Amino acid sequence: MILAILLMIRWCPSRLILKVLKMVNVIWVVLVLFALLYIYVFAVDIIKNKNKLENVSWLKTGLIGFVVNFFDVLGIGAFAPQTALLKFTKQTTDKLIPGTMNVANTLPVLIQAIIFIQVVEVEPVTLVVMFLTAMTGAILGADIVGKLSEKNIRLTISIALLITAGFMFANKMHWIHGEGVAIGIHGWKLVIAGVVNFILGAMMTAGVGLYAPCMALVYLLGLSPQVAFPIMMGSCAFLMPPASYKFIKSGAYNKKAALGMAIPGILAVLIAALVIKSLPLDTLRWLVLIIILYTSITMFLSAIKNK
């Protein structure tokens, strides 16, 4: 399927596609439809299980959802700090963390993508390839993650956090930085982008945040740093609804925690994207990096001890 998508996009004249389909508008409409359908699926599951929701703090999960999604819009990423906060506050079991984060963050991420795809210009062909490959990877990845044992989930999250920390540190040390000006890629670069985003989509269902590695990919391929935002947000927006649907249907998520984080998360995205223009984030990124490394170590030790 991935090869077919890549070949189709590779040989279709981009100008013709732009004129006939107006892809950016089509993508925007698809994201809106995704959001409406996802609200229905999520709401039905919550209502169905309203009498057996988990013993979780609305206040704690609400604060977690607001904070991580606020800074998610600013490029820090939500999954790594969210894992650390859920672990520290003991709001859900380790096994349910990947599913809970995917379900909780789907609507906030969809809103991010809806906003940034309209604001930042990116060649539509590049967007389509990145979005579809990430979504396909997530559909396959969610099935695998939902069947993992708690020990394997802990090991997976530990490795995921370590990978995320590595990308964050490389970015902070300016080993990976953006100097490109392109708003789209073609040929072999587009094929590489699609393959890597497929892998990132699969990994995200296990708790590996897509933002940091996707941003690094964008930089390495010579795209403009601004292009990273609609690409990584749109990739997540396309992959998270189908992945979260699988987590919801299999019951592999904490319902109350997900709901508690989702609603404040939506509010946080709107405030960060539409109101806040800039913040001094340098110190905060170092703090998040330390927290991520600490959580990675504790997850690894818990997996080894099997507690």
- Tokens in use for 54? 């988990």
Q: What is the pLDDT of residue 10?
A: 52
> What is the pLDDT, as a whole number, of residue 30?
86
Contact between 193 and 217 (Cβ < 8 Å): yes
**∠ Cα 125 219 190 (to 5°):** 30
pLDDT at 18: 46
Using DSSP, state whether 127 is helix, strand or coil: helix
Rounded CA-CA distance 24/226 in Å is 16
Expressed as residue numbers, the domain containing 101 is: 21-305
According to DSSP, the residues that pair with 182 across neighbouring strands are 223
> Cα separation of 65 and 249, whole Å?
22
- φ, ψ (nearest 5 deg) of residue 236: -65, -40
- Asked if the structure places residue 140 within a domain, the reply is yes
Low-confidence stretches of the chain (pLDDT beneath 50): 1-9, 11, 16-21
CB atoms within 10 A of CB 287: 10
The answer to the question of residue 10 being in a domain is no
Residue at 129 is within a domain: yes
Q: What is the pTM of this model?
A: 0.74
- Within a domain: 222: yes
Residue position matching structure tokens 């107006």: 22
Work out the mean pLDDT of the chain and round it to a whole number: 78
pLDDT digits (tens, 9 = 90+) for 120-175: 777 888 888 888 888 888 888 777 766 667 677 767 767 766 776 777 677 667 66
pLDDT at 2: 45
Q: Is residue 5 part of a domain?
A: no
What is the number of domains present in the chain? 1
In a domain, 81, yes or no: yes
Is residue 167 domain-resident? yes
